[in-house]
């Protein structure tokens, strides 16, 4: 039986701990060669773009893909799951909330493995939908007590700070400018659509961890060359994806100041194949572009929980 899960049904079972566990497991399996992931492909039209990521998790017995369209009307996400043994369709689920939680969880897993264990102050660029899960995931893995948030729209920023302070039980305050957001922060997270760097890498204090999650195309940049140069560890979720989409890293790669072999996959750190943070004073950078297996791993867990609760409607195939 193939079931369809609506956005509301997905939201009713998906939690941040579930997403963190799913993403970490998928990245570990990928590093060990036990998962297959195909980087995102895009079909561009004059008024809309079709995006697709696909992969497989043999340990879970599934293959699948996430597909979404973007246009001036908005973005629409779906995840499709198939039985890896016989190809039978298992589920189709709306995936806006799923994708948001998965993206945040990936940043959270990176902070778990790369940020200092005593990190208590965060600086966050962005106050939109995706920024919420970034902060929630970070607070789930590190003892964050205070977060400074910078965004251009004052009303949206104020609402975000009030909402997230209540949700997480920490101090969430507006930052007056980008420098204030960065200085004194143990972890800096960028979740924007900016085409140019959002802060000066010279402002970073020793020991900072950076999660850059907004640049998933070559025309976007959130991190400048100074930040990349100062990072003792540059970590990515997938080298194949980063080399294709990491706008933050492209300038350094093109100039020969950063080389493909220096990019460490987060899964390799999790699996013990490569080193993570090497010193308390080291600056670490994680570039998050997204992988199909991250979405698939979350979707599989959602499907199991949904079936156990009798959620979803049967599709006629």
Active site residues: 66
Phi/psi for 261 (5° steps) reads -65, -20
Residue pointed to by tokens 């499709």: 80
Q: Are 111 and 187 in contact (CB under 8 A)?
A: yes
What is the residue-wise DSSP string for 89-143?
A: EEEEEE-HHHHHHHHHHHHHHHHHHHS-TT--EEEEE--SHHHHHHHHHHHHHS-
Cβ-in-10-Å burial (0-12, 13-18, 19+) of 73 comes to exposed
Separation CA 211–CA 186 (nearest Å): 11
Chain centroid, CA 39 distance in Å: 15
Taking alpha carbons only, the member of 294, 288, 298 closest to residue 55 is: 294
Q: Are 142 and 119 in contact (CB under 8 A)?
A: yes
For residue 99, give both structure tokens: 């994708």
Separation CA 148–CA 143 (nearest Å): 15
Separation CA 16–CA 108 (nearest Å): 9
Q: Are 89 and 310 in contact (CB under 8 A)?
A: no
For residue 170, give both structure tokens: 């920490």
Phi/psi for 260 (5° steps) reads -50, -40
Separation CA 106–CA 213 (nearest Å): 9
Separation CA 311–CA 233 (nearest Å): 43
């Amino acid at each position: 039986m193939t079931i369809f899960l609506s956005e509301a049904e997905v939201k009713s079972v998906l939690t941040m701990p579930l997403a963190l566990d799913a993403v970490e497991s998928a990245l570990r399996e990928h590093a060990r060669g036990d998962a297959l992931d195909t980087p995102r492909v895009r079909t561009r039209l004059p008024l809309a773009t079709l995006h697709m990521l696909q992969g497989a998790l043999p340990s879970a017995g599934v293959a699948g893909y996430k597909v979404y369209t973007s246009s001036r009307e908005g973005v629409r996400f779906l995840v499709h799951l198939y039985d890896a043994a016989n190809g039978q369709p298992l589920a189709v689920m709306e995936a806006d909330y799923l994708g948001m939680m998965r993206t945040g969880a990936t940043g959270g897993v990176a902070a778990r493995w790369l940020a200092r264990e005593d990190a208590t102050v965060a600086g966050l660029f962005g106050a939109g939908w995706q920024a919420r899960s970034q902060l929630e995931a970070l607070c789930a893995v590190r003892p964050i007590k205070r977060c400074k948030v910078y965004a251009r729209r004052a009303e949206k920023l104020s609402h975000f700070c009030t909402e997230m302070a209540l949700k997480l039980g920490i101090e969430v305050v507006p930052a007056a400018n980008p420098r204030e957001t960065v200085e004194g922060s143990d972890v800096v997270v960028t979740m924007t659509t900016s085409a140019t760097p959002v802060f000066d890498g010279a402002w970073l204090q020793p020991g900072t961890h950076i999660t850059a999650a907004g640049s998933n195309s070559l025309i976007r940049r959130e991190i400048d060359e100074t930040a990349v140069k100062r990072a003792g560890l540059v970590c990515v979720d997938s080298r194949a994806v980063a080399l294709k989409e990491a706008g933050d890293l492209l300038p350094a790669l093109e100039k020969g100041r950063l080389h493909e072999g220096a990019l460490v996959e987060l899964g390799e750190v999790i699996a013990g194949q490569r080193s993570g943070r090497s010193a308390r004073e080291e600056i670490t950078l994680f570039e998050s572009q997204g992988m199909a297996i991250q979405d698939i791993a979350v979707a599989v867990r959602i499907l199991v929980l949904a079936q156990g609760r009798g959620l979803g409607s049967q599709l006629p195939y």
